[in-house]
Amino acid sequence: MVDSLDAELLHALQLDGRAPFSRIAEVLEVSEQTVARRYRRLRSAGVLRVVGGVDGTRLGYTSWTLRIHTTPDASAAVGAALAERTDTFFVHLLSGGTEISCFTQTPLDHAPLLDKLPRTSKVLAVSAHSLLHGFTIPGEWAGLAALAPEKADRLRYAPEPADGTATPDDQGLLAALAVDGRASHTQLATATGWSESTVRRRLENLRRSGALRIQLEFDPKALGYKAQARLWLTVRPSGLVDVARTLATHPEVSFAGVTTGATNLMAEVSCTDDAHFYRYLTERVARLDAVQTLETAPVLRTLKRIGTV
């Protein structure tokens, strides 16, 4: 479990994953050495990691949410293979261990993963739904909000926007950031073969344009959230946006997005235990009158989050 200072550090990194330890220390009112030591401990324990990810919409990609049913003996192997791919994220084993849920980003005219999965003998069924709009993302999860608003405002990354997108020349930079979003300019220069000034300029341009997102990857269980689940909801069209916006404000919800398919809204939920999950479903979701159907699937194991495995 993390203590109150750890929680504040997590929130600080959520607001700006590349914020210097000196600035975080100033806001948290502790020494820079304390912040660095805490960060290294949490990272080595697998509680957190800062990673860089590309916003696929800037490249004309379509985001998909996949539900994959496998034979009982194959889910772990299929899930591990999915996790190793560069085009997948948030790969979960669900329910009784025969279902996998994940996201993928693909070019509009080419979806190799969607083409390959149905031909895999151990895969019994695949449903793929296009993610039309996200109302919150894991990097903005309200459950991490441990800092007072005035302190959060001092750390939030909010630069002047700029035009631009990722190019093939950026692959080395993006690959290094997918492993460690806090890699120094010197380390990134070594990985790319660029000068440090070029790395600094290109990194900042990608961030300002929104093409690159520096995100905090964290383990909810280490933060005390033992019950995690995927929710699929059918919502009356006239109430869809209102329900999505409401879910996005719930501290239990780390992601909510409108999708195509038989259900039109999905969410990722983290609760402290099954009793908390029950109360959330029956006392909060149940009160949303526009929700017509609800399907839930507990997350048994997370094989991949945002960055590389």
Could you tell me the CATH number of the domain that includes residue 168?
1.10.10
What is the predicted pLDDT for the residue at 274?
Answer: 97
Prediction pTM value? 0.87
Last residue of a domain, one of 190, 218, 246: 218
207 touches 214 (CB < 8 A): yes
Report how far apart, in Å, the C-alpha atoms of 308 and of each of 87, 113, 268 are: 10, 17, 20
> DSSP labels for 146-197?
-S-HHHHHHH---PPP------GGGHHHHHHHHH-TT--HHHHHHHHS--HH
CA-nearest of 134, 203, 198, 133 to 162 is 203
Q: For 139, left (φ over 0), alpha (ψ -120 to 50), or beta?
A: alpha
CA atoms of 53 and 69, how far apart (whole Å):
27
Tokens of 53: 């990810």
Q: Give a yes or no: residue 30 inside a domain.
A: yes
Give 257-286 pLDDT, tens digit per residue: 999 999 999 999 999 999 999 999 999 999
Q: Give a yes or no: residue 140 inside a domain.
A: no
* Domain around 228: 221-302
Mean pLDDT of all residues in 215-233: 93
Q: Give a yes or no: residue 89 inside a domain.
A: yes
Could you tell me the pLDDT band of residue 150, with boundaries at 50, 70 and 90? very high
DSSP secondary structure code for residue 108 in this structure: T
CA atoms of 93 and 101, how far apart (whole Å):
7
What is the predicted pLDDT for the residue at 83?
Answer: 93
Whether pLDDT at 138 is above 60: no
Give 42-73 pLDDT, tens digit per residue: 999 999 999 998 887 777 788 899 999 999 99
Same structural domain, 237 and 188 = no
CA angle, 65 then 54 then 148, to 5°:
90
CA atoms of 170 and 281, how far apart (whole Å):
43
